[in-house]
Structure formats: C-alpha cells, structure tokens
Amino acid sequence: MSAPAKAPYYWDFGTSEEGYPPAYGGPWYIDSMVGDAAVFEDWKIEGDGSPVVVWPITKYEETGTGKIGFGAKGVQGEIALTMDPSGWILAVATIAGKEVFRGFIDRPWEQYDIWPVGATPERNEEGPGRIGKKRAWVALSTEAWPQLLSYAGGSEALIVEIDENKLRENSRNSYES
C-alpha cells in the first residue's frame, strides 16, 4: 500500500521553499491533531447533522502513533496517525478493528491534503481529501474513497466539521461556571 508518488511537503515548518523535513513537521502535526480532539470533541456530519464525538487516545510523541477515538451513528472507532517511511503522515481509521479508511496527509499550504493509496499527484495538485487550515473541518471525496459513500449519505464527499453550536454552548457554560 504505497504512499503518493510525490514527496510530502510541510510548508510552515522551515524557512526555505522546501519546508521542514517530514521527520520534524509530521510528528508535530500528528500531536497537534490529537490535542485538538481533547479541546474540540463535538463534531457533526455535514448534510444530515449527525453528531460525531472525538477524544484523544495517545500522542505520537509518547508511543510513535497518535490515536483519536470517535463515535458516530451508533459505532465507535479510532484513527491512527503514524509517520510512513515515505515521510507522509499515514491516517488509518478502523471501526470494530476493520479498516474503513486509509489516506496520506501533508500540508502543502494552509490546508492539508489527503491522498489515497497509490495516488500520483502533481506537485501543486489539491488532494481529494482536505483538512481546513484551522482543522475545523475534514472533507473526503467518495470517488477517491468509495467505501465512505454510505457514511456520506450518498453525497460526493463525507464532510465532518466542528459543531459550532455545541462549541458556543460549551463555551457559554464554562464562562457561567
């Protein structure tokens, strides 16, 4: 299961056009994503508004694998984030031990790109999967990952975003306490 046929790029890690070497940028991104799961636990699926809850399991810095748990539509699973030998961040999502998603992540600019196994992208091509620059949403093409079609409700993309209503409610509740 091969990584995309281009070198990963982590643009904001470094002072040159080349960015930082993946060994520095990738692990930092992994642990910051795991940290986000502790702060922003309430998400939702765009379209039907189904709630998604996430939580941190382990940090890359401590175990060599960043793990985020998730629960949605009556199922629970986990996302494992590791550094692939190619320099890409490898994301593998499982439900009940069965793999439901595998993608390779880099950050060529402000947003993150996610590529399926064996992709052959051009240097400046955008990935069929994206994570917003503030990591408040994730969009995965069901053409690139057809196994996600049922989770996307037949849509051309599975889009999961922070539930801003819950975020405001939680913020208000913590302010009032």
Q: Cα separation of 89 and 76, whole Å?
A: 22
Q: Cα separation of 119 and 5, whole Å?
A: 6
**pLDDT at position 169:** 80
Q: Cα separation of 84 and 77, whole Å?
A: 21
| 59 contacts 45 by C-beta, under 8 angstroms | no
Q: Cα separation of 142 and 115, whole Å?
A: 12
The pLDDT tens digits for 10-65 are 766 555 566 566 777 789 889 999 999 999 999 999 999 999 999 999 999 999 99
Q: Cα separation of 168 and 153, whole Å?
A: 27
Q: Name the pLDDT band for 176 (thresholds 50, 70, 90).
A: low
Going from N- to C-terminal start, the domains of the chain cover 22-176
